Chain A
Amino acid sequence: MEVLKKLPEEVDLLLRSLSTLNVNGQEYKPTEFVLSNYIFFMCVALTVLAIIMYVAVKNLKMVPDSKVSNAVESLAQFVRDDIAAGMIPHGSKKYFGFLATLFFFILTSNIIGLIPGCKPSTGTMGVTVALSTTVFAYFNYVGFKNQGFLGYLKSFVPHGVPLAVAPVIWVIEVFSSFLRIFTLAVRLFANMYAGHIILGIFAILTSLFIEPMIEHLSAGSVVGALPSIGWLALMTALYLLEVLVAFVQAYVFTLLSAVYIGAAAEAH
């Protein structure tokens, strides 16, 4: 298989293009202040989201007749009823704005990343850690506000724990709540990053097998190009899976945020 000899260097190129670079494709030092490729696509996602939202709410009606309004309304209703109301027992309306913002931003970023040539802004640790830190700050704020300073600190220990082990449990629970920053961020990042690496590898394999046929057409090169049909089919299937993953990851991130907010909002 001599076509496969080129694979390692192509994969290296792919990994390099998926790392955080300057928007013009050059590497930069950590001390430099530049617009990186992921931040550029985050701005693109924010602009697209703002335009979609503006079009959707431009003329609100009791029975929406535009497709954009219908789509946005059904998603917003999904966030309100399934995520917010399902996980926060009382007063979920107050937190709907925050959760819907998270959901729509992550969903738009993930979908933008699926367009060939674009990158998902959620495919870098910088953006996902920023998102999860925001969630962490928000649910702690909700906890301190709703339960009072000491009440919230006490609520880390469940009821019925013997007094002797309560301090140990408290330390573990506080530590695990700090770990939420890490787990939320890494789950989203790993899904988007790995998904794009896999899509990229299948695209590289497709092009590697078809390359000899394009260079000179002969019976041998046509037979050699046959595997690329299989790679292309696999890539299409994985692409469809990635569309599902884009939705599921936005859903999971928002749902977990709702769970954390719901737990912090009430004494239990």
Chain B
Amino acid sequence: MEFIGFGLLYGLAVTAPALAIGMVGGKAAESTARQPEMAGRIFTVFILSAAFVEALALLGFVLGILVQGKL
């Protein structure tokens, strides 16, 4: 049972961040297409937002590993 839980953990932890990172990437591509001269600035914003979102996914992963031994 624990193994199933741990297997599910990563999958569940990344669902929302996956949606979010898709949105961030899509919007970044869209705004670069609209205003190519702002590409540098948009890329910075994209990397930043991606880092914030990524932290959430990694949090689930790392907490899972840290908790795994203590169940």
Contacts and interface: CB of A to CB of B under 8 A. Distances in A.
A249 B61 contact: no
Interface stretch (A188-196, A215-223, A225-233): A188-196
Contacts of A189: 62
A186 B56 CA distance: 10
B55 A186 contact: yes
B16 interface: no
Contact of B65 (A82, A186, A191, A197): A197
A78 to B, nearest CB: 11
A197 B64 CA distance: 13
A232 B52 CA distance: 29
Given A15-B65, A197-B65, A248 B47 contact: yes
A197 B65 CA distance: 10
A255 interface: yes
B18 interface: no
B47 A187 contact: no
A190 B52 CA distance: 12
A194 B62 contact: yes
A48 interface: no
Contacts of A251: 47
B55 A191 contact: yes
Q: Chain B's interface: helix, strand, loop or mixed, by majority?
A: helix
B12 interface: no
B48 interface: yes
Interface residues of B, number: 12
Interface in A203-255: 248-249, 251-252, 255
Contacts of B54: 191
Contacts of A255: 48
B48 A190 contact: no
Contacts of B51: 187, 191, 248-249, 252
Contacts of A190: 55, 58-59, 61-62
Residue in A190, A193, A251, A252 whose Cβ sees the most chain B Cβ within 10 Å? A190
A187 B52 CA distance: 8
A194 B52 CA distance: 15
Nearest to A255: B48
Interface string B38-59: 0000001001100110110011
B64 to A, nearest CB: 10
A193 B62 contact: yes
Nearest to A187: B55
A175 B40 CA distance: 35
23 contacts: A15-B65, A82-B44, A186-B59, A187-B52, A187-B55, A189-B62, A190-B55, A190-B58, A190-B59, A190-B61, A191-B51, A191-B54, A191-B58, A193-B62, A194-B58, A194-B61, A194-B62, A248-B47, A248-B51, A251-B47, A252-B48, A252-B51, A252-B52
Interface of A: 15, 82, 186-187, 189-191, 193-194, 197, 248-249, 251-252, 255
